[in-house]
A = this chain, B = another copy of it.
Amino acid sequence: MILINIGDELLIGQVVNTNAAFVGQQMAMAGIEMTEVLTIGDAGDAIRDAIVSSFEKTDLIIMTGGLGPTKDDITKKVVCDLYHKELVMDEATLQAVTQRFADRCMALTETNRQQAAMPEGSVVLPNALGTAPGLWIEEDGKVLIMLPGVPFEMERLVKEEVLPRLQARRTDHHVIQYRVLQCTNITESGLSDLLEEYERQLPENLSLAYLPKPGIIRLRLTGRGEDSAALQETLDIQFQLLKQFAGEYAFADEDIEVEEVVGKLLLKRNCRLATAESCTGGYIAHLITSVPGSSQYFQGSVVSYSNEVKRDILNVREDNLRRRGAVSEEVVSDMALNVMGLLDVDYSVATSGIAGPDGGTEEKPVGTVWIAVATPVRLVTQKFQFGKRMGRQQIIERAARAALNMLRIEIEKDIR
């Protein structure tokens, strides 16, 4: 599979190409090899050349970008030329776009109408989140998939429209199934050593792939076979064995985020959670509340970005602030313990650190973060030193994920 990303904004570096990473991850999980990513500008010639030269190397192209309503969007025209097709109005899309505008009490313009015109013979992939649907064109066994460039629209289309169709048209009469185990607190090579014996005993039709993300290694166990039920059984047995080998490093047996794991654990125990955040600035609360249904266990957060708020709202001891500094085990412990009482919860997590780029000292360089987790029966603290060369955003994200992971470990201890 070759991915073609279209957009002048990518070539001048105005936008970081996160679409490529997303598609790469999804394809890797589905067992489809992405061999190349090609980023080009919004120019007809470049788009045509990219399609033609890529089809010399692959039977499957996914393109993102170039499908919006504005005039720099010329992809559909190029595709019509290439395939010798006309643009025809797709009634279902026109209806959806019309409805979208009616919902917002806005008038449909001619430009919007044109978004519903599609190259004849193409399959329209409905886009529930935007006005430009995706397109699927198949000829001579070669598939060209066009998706909008807006990340959340593209992401939904890949998951709900593209991947199911790609799985459905596999011609090798093989069934492919996979399971994902997520591990953390171990390096990729450490995990590889730990699983050496496990991998040796794997049946021939099963394979294990390492798919690392920052702070997390996802293990994908893929099975191929003729008989779906038999494959399922083998896969179940081998997945259980994998979990045993991975032991304490495994934290989720599906491809979900750590905040979802935490949510499930809290629901199971019928417990409530709060956060007290300094350097993470509300990001942990945001991750927790991005999970649907989180209002069942999440009470709220005190984001105490200033020392006054730490002292006046969270009752952090003045003495600790003065003598130990805001970034200290003492302060973060006060924050975790006091937010528990204040928001009346069973679990809390607190952070205080230096996200940079300024504020670092010799003793506490940028990237220093103290995290505390309070449970009904204990208080656990840990100091993290995220790389000095990481950016502010990365330090905030790493700290938030580390905090959620500490929280997960402590809740799991209580469940056992």
Spell out A's residues near B (CB within 8 Å): 8-18, 20-28, 34-42, 46, 53, 68-72, 100, 103-104, 106, 109, 111-112, 115, 128-129, 131, 150, 152, 156, 178, 180, 187-190, 192-193, 199, 207, 209-214, 218, 220, 222, 255, 275, 277, 280-286, 288-290, 292-295, 298-306, 308-309, 312-313, 342-344, 355-359, 387-394, 396
Complexed CA–CA distance, A275 and B18 (Å):
29
Residues of B near A28 (CB, < 8 A) are 11-13
Rounded to whole Å, the gap between the CB of A211 and the closest CB of chain B is: 5
Residues of B near A313 (CB, < 8 A) are 300, 302, 313, 342-343
**Stoichiometry, copies per complex:** 2
Complexed CA–CA distance, A214 and B153 (Å):
10
B46 touches A25 (CB 8 A): no
A15 touches B211 (CB 8 A): yes
B14 touches A16 (CB 8 A): no
Residues of B near A394 (CB, < 8 A) are 129, 152
A14 touches B303 (CB 8 A): no
Residues of B near A193 (CB, < 8 A) are 109, 111
B210 touches A70 (CB 8 A): yes
Pairs of residues from A and B, 8 with the lowest C-beta to C-beta distance, nearest first: A281-B289, A13-B24, A282-B285, A282-B282, A13-B25, A37-B39, A301-B303, A13-B21
Contacts A300-B303, A303-B301 given: A111-B70 contact, CB under 8 Å?
Answer: no
A109 touches B289 (CB 8 A): no
Complexed CA–CA distance, A187 and B19 (Å):
22
Residues of B near A152 (CB, < 8 A) are 214, 389, 391, 393-394
Complexed CA–CA distance, A358 and B293 (Å):
8
B12 touches A34 (CB 8 A): yes
Tell me what chain A mostly uses at the interface: helix, strand, loop, or mixed: mixed
Residues of B near A390 (CB, < 8 A) are 129
A46 touches B39 (CB 8 A): no
Name, among A8, A28, A388, the residue most crowded by chain B CB atoms within 10 Å (CB to CB): A8
Q: Quick one: which of B36, B69, B210, B290 contacts A46, CB cutoff 8 A?
A: B36
Contacts A12-B178, A192-B70 given: A343-B309 contact, CB under 8 Å?
Answer: yes
B282 touches A69 (CB 8 A): no
A71 touches B109 (CB 8 A): no
- For A38, the closest partner residue in chain B by CB is B38
- For A5, the closest partner residue in chain B by CB is B37
A16 touches B16 (CB 8 A): yes
Residues of B near A295 (CB, < 8 A) are 305-306, 359
Complexed CA–CA distance, A23 and B69 (Å):
29
Name, among A12, A68, A188, A255, the residue most crowded by chain B CB atoms within 10 Å (CB to CB): A12
Q: Quick one: which of B100, B292, B342 contacts A357, CB cutoff 8 A?
A: B292
B10 touches A20 (CB 8 A): yes
Contacts A9-B209, A343-B313, A391-B152 given: A303-B282 contact, CB under 8 Å?
Answer: yes
Name, among A20, A26, A199, A213, the residue most crowded by chain B CB atoms within 10 Å (CB to CB): A20
Residues of B near A280 (CB, < 8 A) are 286
15 other A-B residue contacts (CB within 8 Å) besides A282-B283, A301-B301: A8-B209, A9-B211, A9-B220, A13-B21, A13-B28, A36-B38, A39-B39, A103-B387, A150-B212, A283-B289, A285-B285, A290-B392, A295-B306, A309-B343, A313-B342
- For A148, the closest partner residue in chain B by CB is B212
A23 touches B13 (CB 8 A): yes
Residues of B near A40 (CB, < 8 A) are 35-36
B16 touches A37 (CB 8 A): no
Complexed CA–CA distance, A391 and B21 (Å):
15
Complexed CA–CA distance, A40 and B106 (Å):
44
A212 touches B68 (CB 8 A): yes
Can you list 12 A-B contacts with CB-CB less than 8 angstroms, sorted by A residue number? Answer: A10-B20, A11-B24, A11-B36, A14-B180, A14-B255, A35-B46, A69-B189, A70-B192, A152-B394, A285-B285, A292-B358, A299-B309
